[in-house]
Amino acid sequence: MSLFGLGNRNQKTFRPKKNAPSGNKGAQLKKHIDATLGSGNLKEAVRLPPGEDLHEWLAVNTVDFFNQVNLLYGSLMEFCTPTTCPTMSAGPKFEYRWADGVQIKKPIEVSAPKYVEYLMDWIEVQLDDESIFPQRLGTPFPHNFQDIIKMIFKRLFRVYAHIYHSHFQKIVSLKEEAHLNTCFKHFTFFTWEFHLIEKGELAPLIDLIESILHAR
Protein backbone atom coordinates (compact mmCIF):
# COMPACT_ATOMS: atom_id res chain seq x y z
CA MET A 1 0.00 0.00 0.00
CA SER A 2 1.28 3.46 -0.84
CA LEU A 3 2.24 5.41 2.25
CA PHE A 4 0.09 8.33 1.16
CA GLY A 5 -2.80 6.26 -0.15
CA LEU A 6 -6.20 6.12 1.48
CA GLY A 7 -5.86 2.71 3.03
CA ASN A 8 -6.31 3.92 6.59
CA ARG A 9 -9.86 5.20 6.35
CA ASN A 10 -10.94 3.11 9.33
CA GLN A 11 -8.27 4.62 11.60
CA LYS A 12 -9.75 6.62 14.44
CA THR A 13 -7.76 9.75 13.70
CA PHE A 14 -8.30 9.73 9.96
CA ARG A 15 -10.95 12.29 9.24
CA PRO A 16 -12.82 13.14 6.04
CA LYS A 17 -11.57 16.04 3.95
CA LYS A 18 -12.85 19.41 5.03
CA ASN A 19 -14.39 21.53 2.31
CA ALA A 20 -13.59 25.18 1.73
CA PRO A 21 -16.10 27.54 3.38
CA SER A 22 -19.22 27.68 1.23
CA GLY A 23 -21.48 30.64 0.67
CA ASN A 24 -18.59 33.01 0.06
CA LYS A 25 -15.85 33.07 -2.55
CA GLY A 26 -14.40 29.85 -1.16
CA ALA A 27 -15.38 27.67 -4.10
CA GLN A 28 -14.05 30.15 -6.68
CA LEU A 29 -10.77 30.55 -4.81
CA LYS A 30 -10.45 26.77 -4.48
CA LYS A 31 -10.72 26.48 -8.28
CA HIS A 32 -8.04 29.16 -8.62
CA ILE A 33 -5.74 27.24 -6.24
CA ASP A 34 -6.22 23.97 -8.13
CA ALA A 35 -5.62 25.66 -11.50
CA THR A 36 -2.44 27.46 -10.40
CA LEU A 37 -1.08 24.38 -8.62
CA GLY A 38 -1.60 22.50 -11.87
CA SER A 39 0.84 24.89 -13.54
CA GLY A 40 3.59 23.54 -11.29
CA ASN A 41 4.72 27.01 -10.20
CA LEU A 42 4.19 26.81 -6.45
CA LYS A 43 5.70 30.23 -5.76
CA GLU A 44 3.14 31.80 -8.09
CA ALA A 45 0.28 29.64 -6.81
CA VAL A 46 0.46 30.97 -3.24
CA ARG A 47 0.15 34.66 -4.13
CA LEU A 48 -3.06 36.51 -3.34
CA PRO A 49 -5.05 36.77 -6.59
CA PRO A 50 -5.60 40.38 -7.71
CA GLY A 51 -8.69 41.93 -6.16
CA GLU A 52 -9.31 39.08 -3.71
CA ASP A 53 -9.75 39.40 0.05
CA LEU A 54 -6.71 38.33 2.09
CA HIS A 55 -8.79 36.71 4.82
CA GLU A 56 -10.79 34.67 2.29
CA TRP A 57 -7.52 33.51 0.71
CA LEU A 58 -6.01 32.55 4.06
CA ALA A 59 -9.20 30.68 5.04
CA VAL A 60 -9.45 28.57 1.88
CA ASN A 61 -5.76 27.71 1.93
CA THR A 62 -5.85 26.83 5.63
CA VAL A 63 -8.50 24.21 4.91
CA ASP A 64 -6.35 22.87 2.05
CA PHE A 65 -3.19 22.61 4.16
CA PHE A 66 -5.11 21.00 7.02
CA ASN A 67 -6.37 18.33 4.60
CA GLN A 68 -2.88 17.84 3.16
CA VAL A 69 -1.14 17.37 6.51
CA ASN A 70 -3.99 15.26 7.84
CA LEU A 71 -3.67 12.89 4.87
CA LEU A 72 0.13 12.77 5.02
CA TYR A 73 0.19 11.95 8.71
CA GLY A 74 -2.89 9.73 8.63
CA SER A 75 -1.17 7.32 6.28
CA LEU A 76 2.00 7.35 8.39
CA MET A 77 0.29 6.28 11.59
CA GLU A 78 1.43 2.66 11.53
CA PHE A 79 5.02 3.91 11.82
CA CYS A 80 4.35 6.67 14.37
CA THR A 81 3.16 5.11 17.62
CA PRO A 82 3.47 5.90 21.35
CA THR A 83 6.24 3.28 21.42
CA THR A 84 8.30 4.58 18.48
CA CYS A 85 7.59 8.26 19.22
CA PRO A 86 6.91 8.70 22.97
CA THR A 87 7.34 12.48 22.65
CA MET A 88 6.38 14.97 19.93
CA SER A 89 9.83 15.97 18.77
CA ALA A 90 11.81 17.22 15.78
CA GLY A 91 15.26 15.89 16.57
CA PRO A 92 16.96 15.97 19.99
CA LYS A 93 16.81 19.76 20.38
CA PHE A 94 13.09 20.31 19.76
CA GLU A 95 10.25 18.85 21.77
CA TYR A 96 6.66 20.07 21.57
CA ARG A 97 4.12 19.92 24.38
CA TRP A 98 0.39 20.28 23.96
CA ALA A 99 -1.97 22.95 25.33
CA ASP A 100 -5.14 24.32 23.78
CA GLY A 101 -5.77 27.05 26.34
CA VAL A 102 -9.24 25.67 27.07
CA GLN A 103 -9.30 22.07 28.24
CA ILE A 104 -5.52 21.79 28.64
CA LYS A 105 -4.16 25.12 29.85
CA LYS A 106 -0.74 23.99 31.07
CA PRO A 107 1.41 22.36 28.34
CA ILE A 108 1.64 18.59 28.79
CA GLU A 109 4.09 16.06 27.38
CA VAL A 110 2.36 13.58 25.09
CA SER A 111 3.41 11.07 22.44
CA ALA A 112 3.66 12.24 18.83
CA PRO A 113 0.45 10.48 17.71
CA LYS A 114 -1.45 11.91 20.70
CA TYR A 115 -0.13 15.41 19.94
CA VAL A 116 -1.26 15.15 16.32
CA GLU A 117 -4.66 13.83 17.40
CA TYR A 118 -5.10 16.77 19.79
CA LEU A 119 -3.92 19.16 17.08
CA MET A 120 -6.21 17.91 14.32
CA ASP A 121 -9.19 17.95 16.71
CA TRP A 122 -8.31 21.51 17.76
CA ILE A 123 -7.95 22.76 14.16
CA GLU A 124 -11.22 21.10 13.19
CA VAL A 125 -13.02 22.97 15.99
CA GLN A 126 -11.62 26.27 14.63
CA LEU A 127 -12.62 25.44 11.03
CA ASP A 128 -16.17 24.52 12.11
CA ASP A 129 -16.63 27.69 14.19
CA GLU A 130 -18.53 30.15 12.00
CA SER A 131 -17.44 33.06 14.17
CA ILE A 132 -13.85 32.30 13.01
CA PHE A 133 -14.40 30.83 9.53
CA PRO A 134 -17.69 32.42 8.44
CA GLN A 135 -19.80 30.48 5.95
CA ARG A 136 -22.22 33.23 4.94
CA LEU A 137 -21.38 35.81 2.32
CA GLY A 138 -20.65 39.19 3.87
CA THR A 139 -20.09 37.89 7.40
CA PRO A 140 -16.88 39.50 8.68
CA PHE A 141 -13.86 37.56 9.85
CA PRO A 142 -12.89 38.11 13.52
CA HIS A 143 -10.37 40.87 14.32
CA ASN A 144 -7.86 38.27 15.55
CA PHE A 145 -8.27 36.01 12.49
CA GLN A 146 -4.65 36.25 11.38
CA ASP A 147 -3.43 35.36 14.89
CA ILE A 148 -5.55 32.20 14.78
CA ILE A 149 -4.23 31.35 11.31
CA LYS A 150 -0.63 31.82 12.51
CA MET A 151 -1.22 29.45 15.42
CA ILE A 152 -2.70 26.81 13.08
CA PHE A 153 0.26 27.04 10.69
CA LYS A 154 2.84 27.04 13.49
CA ARG A 155 1.39 23.78 14.77
CA LEU A 156 0.99 22.20 11.33
CA PHE A 157 4.68 22.95 10.76
CA ARG A 158 5.49 20.84 13.82
CA VAL A 159 3.90 17.82 12.15
CA TYR A 160 6.13 18.31 9.10
CA ALA A 161 9.17 18.76 11.38
CA HIS A 162 8.36 15.51 13.17
CA ILE A 163 7.84 13.60 9.92
CA TYR A 164 11.16 14.79 8.47
CA HIS A 165 13.16 14.14 11.64
CA SER A 166 11.58 10.86 12.76
CA HIS A 167 10.16 9.16 9.68
CA PHE A 168 12.01 10.36 6.60
CA GLN A 169 14.03 7.17 6.13
CA LYS A 170 10.80 5.16 6.08
CA ILE A 171 9.35 7.57 3.51
CA VAL A 172 12.47 7.23 1.34
CA SER A 173 12.27 3.44 1.55
CA LEU A 174 8.68 3.67 0.29
CA LYS A 175 9.74 6.08 -2.50
CA GLU A 176 7.27 8.71 -1.29
CA GLU A 177 9.72 11.52 -0.52
CA ALA A 178 8.92 13.46 -3.73
CA HIS A 179 5.27 13.81 -2.67
CA LEU A 180 6.20 14.87 0.87
CA ASN A 181 8.75 17.39 -0.44
CA THR A 182 6.24 18.92 -2.86
CA CYS A 183 3.64 19.32 -0.10
CA PHE A 184 6.18 20.91 2.23
CA LYS A 185 7.50 23.18 -0.51
CA HIS A 186 3.96 24.47 -1.13
CA PHE A 187 3.48 24.96 2.63
CA THR A 188 6.81 26.81 2.91
CA PHE A 189 6.08 29.22 0.07
CA PHE A 190 2.66 30.02 1.52
CA THR A 191 3.83 30.61 5.08
CA TRP A 192 6.73 32.74 3.82
CA GLU A 193 4.54 34.81 1.49
CA PHE A 194 2.19 35.80 4.33
CA HIS A 195 4.68 35.78 7.25
CA LEU A 196 2.71 33.15 9.14
CA ILE A 197 5.48 31.50 11.18
CA GLU A 198 8.23 33.20 13.21
CA LYS A 199 11.70 32.31 12.00
CA GLY A 200 12.68 30.83 15.37
CA GLU A 201 9.88 28.27 15.07
CA LEU A 202 11.31 27.10 11.73
CA ALA A 203 14.67 26.12 13.25
CA PRO A 204 14.18 22.32 13.06
CA LEU A 205 13.93 22.49 9.25
CA ILE A 206 15.67 25.78 8.52
CA ASP A 207 18.28 24.27 6.16
CA LEU A 208 15.55 22.62 4.07
CA ILE A 209 13.47 25.81 4.08
CA GLU A 210 16.44 27.96 2.98
CA SER A 211 17.16 25.55 0.11
CA ILE A 212 13.49 25.72 -0.99
CA LEU A 213 13.32 29.52 -0.85
CA HIS A 214 16.63 30.10 -2.62
CA ALA A 215 16.42 27.39 -5.24
CA ARG A 216 16.76 28.70 -8.78
Q: pLDDT tens for residues 66-98?
A: 999 998 898 788 899 999 999 999 999 999 999
Cβ neighbour number for residue 165 with a 10 Å cutoff: 16
Phi-psi region at 147: left, alpha or beta (left = phi > 0; alpha = psi -120 to 50): alpha
Weakly modelled stretches of the chain, pLDDT under 50: 1-14, 22
* pLDDT at 142 (0 to 100): 95
* pLDDT at 35 (0 to 100): 61
The architecture (CATH level 2) of 26-213 comes to Up-down Bundle (1.20)
Taking the domains of the chain in order of start, what are their residue ranges? 26-213
3-state secondary structure at position 169: helix
* pLDDT at 139 (0 to 100): 85
* pLDDT at 16 (0 to 100): 52
* pLDDT at 32 (0 to 100): 57
